[in-house]
Structure 1
């Protein structure tokens, strides 16, 4: 006779292995708190593209202002960081009825190594619609050259 046992609903580790064969590895790691869905993760997602003339970096950082960012280049290391805290003006107003309000603070710091083939003095940065965009131009000698046809004699 089989005994029915109630699963412990408080232990996420107990349920991780129940459906392991039917889950993808990413879903399994997310459930364990190791994936991008972890709420404590503060690193924004980044897209990096290379064109013939430059590198383009796009970073998803909604809810910030351009004043919250600090972008620095030290030798060939590009560092992007930001910090934003909740404005405390609301807490000093009269007639504010908070049942619960927790302070909010978000920050991150990401660094990228740039190749020697970039023009570091001409990097452009723009923040719009929650996306920080950087354009990092290449030096002339590193730019993609057009295809040249060589005549055979």
Structure 2
């Protein structure tokens, strides 16, 4: 496949005049945003939590929601059900202080997430259960009796 546009090494698509030694405005902006960030900005001030991955599976009797959230405690989770909307959230903060004769260093981190799911009306809301084990939050969403899949049966003709 042939290239339609030749892109300079800095990734800028702007035309530059080779007679001028001063960079164009857009290449100057590109240069700022393409630089490596100073280590002070990339240091580990946060706990590094991102939006957790979720697996949802259905069986004949229930739905199961499994969420990968290692490093949390059971008490960190807020699980709410409001009009068929299941919301799972957590919020945590961390602070470390290192004191020495000549300096005090304070580091802190904050992380939070919220995931929401619209549940079908076939869920038995009174029997929802949640467990947290080995970094996995598991929520069991049982179906109402009338919504459970039943095995096929043969009907005799009389």
TM-score, reference length from structure 1: 0.66
- 1:142 paired residue number: 147
> Which residues of structure 1 form unaligned runs of 5+?
15-39
- Which one has a larger percent strand, Structure 1 or Structure 2? 2
The one of 7, 10, 20 equivalent to 2:9 is: 7
Runs in 1 of length 4+ with deviation above 3 angstroms?
Answer: none
Q: Does 1:64 align with 2:72?
A: yes
- 2:137 paired residue number: 132
Counting matched residue pairs gives 118
TM-score, reference length from structure 2: 0.64
Q: Where in structure 2 are the equivalents of 1:43-82 lying within 5 Å?
A: 43-82=51-90
SS at match of 1:104: strand
Whose radius of gyration is greater, 1 or 2? 2
> Which residues of structure 2 form unaligned runs of 5+?
1-6, 14-47
Q: Where in structure 2 are the equivalents of 1:62-141 lying within 5 Å?
A: 62-86=70-94, 88=95, 90-91=96-97, 94=99, 102-141=107-146
Question: Whole-Å Cα distance in 2 between the matches of residues 122 and 129 of structure 1?
Answer: 23
Question: Whole-Å Cα distance in 1 between the matches of residues 99 and 78 of structure 2?
Answer: 35
- 2:24 paired residue number: none
Question: Whole-Å Cα distance in 1 between the matches of residues 58 and 139 of structure 2?
Answer: 12
Question: Whole-Å Cα distance in 2 between the matches of residues 77 and 60 of structure 1?
Answer: 20
CA shift at 1:101, angstroms?
6.8
CA shift at 1:151, angstroms?
2.8
CA shift at 1:43, angstroms?
1.6
CA RMSD, 1 decimal: 3.1
